[in-house]
């Protein structure tokens, strides 16, 4: 079971490594989208500091949603997804491995560039630490939920936009506690409660989302 998980996970990483520019597109989107805000809202450091956490979180959410829509698409087209599901391994295992690979390729780089973004938006050191921890806990949730959306919209014409409409309402709690952690630190409070709730959401999503995703995959391939 562990070997099957690892095999799918490493396969997806290898595929991403062979299309490096494609794999880096979500991070590029993240940077471009964030840099629009100072231009649109105005460059006053005080105002930027206030909205920094929200901007970073919203852009991370959108970057995850945009990239996750192709999670199953190429495997579906060349038939390998069907073979994986026929292999006798649990569908939830496959869904979990795919989501983990998506997080490694897309979510982790977002966490890595977040400090840089924080400096651009004049965030304080403590707020930056809170931002990184909240992104570390929160972006896997986005990959897991997004994987479910990708499975539901597999092979549909407007899959990308539809996925955003389906999954964004479900990811609102993550956004609230992720951005809330940074606001709490900014206000001089402890972010512990936010981190606990994010952790609880992560555990719940890790347990439930792969199962729902495997159902969605079987529905789509029937």
Partner 1 sequence: MNRPLTWLTFSAPSRFYALANAVNPWLWALAIGLAVWGLYVGFFVAPTDATQGEAYRIIFIHVPAAWMSMILYLAMAFWAGVGWMLNARMASTLARAIAPTGAMFTFIALWTGAFWGKPTWGTWWVWDARLTSELILLFLYLGYIALVTAIDDLVRGDKAGALLALVGAVNVPIIYFSVRWWNTLHQGATISLTAAPKMAQTMLFAMLLMTFAFWAYAFAVVFTRAQALALARDGDAAWVQALRKEKQ
Positions that interact with partner 1 (CB under 8 A): 148, 152-153, 156-158, 162, 165-166, 168-170, 172-173, 176-177, 180, 183-184, 197, 201, 208, 212, 215-216, 219-220, 222
Residue number with CB closer to partner 1 (31 or 168): 168
CB of 214 to partner 1, least distance (A): 11
CB of 139 to partner 1, least distance (A): 17
Residue number with CB closer to partner 1 (2 or 157): 157
CB of 113 to partner 1, least distance (A): 26
Report the alpha-carbon distance of residue 61 to residue 143 in Å, rounded: 9
Residue number with CB closer to partner 1 (27 or 71): 71
Residue number with CB closer to partner 1 (41 or 161): 161
Residue number with CB closer to partner 1 (111 or 164): 164
- 34-52 b/e with 16+ CB inside 10 Å = b? beebbeeeeeeeeebbeeb
CB of 137 to partner 1, least distance (A): 14
Residues near 140 by Cβ (< 8 Å), separated by ≥ 6?
99, 100, 103, 107, 202, 205, 206
CB of 175 to partner 1, least distance (A): 9
3-state secondary structure of 191: coil
Whole-number CA gyration radius for the chain: 18
Residue number with CB closer to partner 1 (37 or 177): 177
* Tokens (6 digits) for 101: 């690979």
CB of 131 to partner 1, least distance (A): 17
Report the alpha-carbon distance of residue 194 to residue 198 in Å, rounded: 6
Please give the full DSSP string across 57-102, using - where no structure is assigned. Answer: HHHHHHHHHHHHTTTTHHHHHTTHHHHHHHTSS-HHHHHHHHHHHH
Task: Give, for 198, the enclosing helix (H) or strand (E).
Answer: helix 192-221
* Tokens (6 digits) for 77: 């087209």
């Amino acid at each position: 079971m562990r070997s099957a998980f690892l095999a799918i996970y490493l396969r997806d990483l290898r595929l991403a490594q062979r299309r490096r520019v494609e794999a880096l597109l979500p991070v590029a989107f993240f940077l471009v989208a964030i840099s629009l805000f100072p231009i649109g809202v105005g460059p006053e450091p005080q105002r930027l500091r206030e909205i920094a956490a929200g901007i970073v979180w919203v852009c991370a959410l959108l970057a995850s949603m945009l990239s996750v829509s192709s999670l199953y698409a190429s495997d579906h087209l060349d038939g390998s997804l069907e073979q994986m599901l026929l292999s006798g391994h649990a569908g939830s295992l496959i869904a979990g491995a795919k989501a983990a690979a998506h997080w490694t390729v897309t979510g982790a780089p977002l966490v890595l560039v977040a400090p840089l973004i924080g400096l651009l938006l004049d965030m304080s050191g403590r707020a930056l630490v809170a931002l990184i921890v909240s992104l570390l806990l929160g972006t896997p949730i986005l990959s897991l939920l997004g994987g479910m959306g990708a499975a539901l919209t597999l092979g549909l014409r407007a899959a990308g936009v539809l996925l955003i409409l389906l999954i964004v309402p479900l990811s609102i709690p993550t956004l609230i506690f992720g951005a809330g952690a940074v606001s709490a630190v900014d206000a001089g409070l402890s972010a512990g409660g936010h981190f606990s709730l994010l952790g609880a959401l992560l555990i719940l999503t890790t347990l439930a989302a792969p199962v729902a995703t495997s159902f969605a995959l079987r529905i789509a391939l029937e």
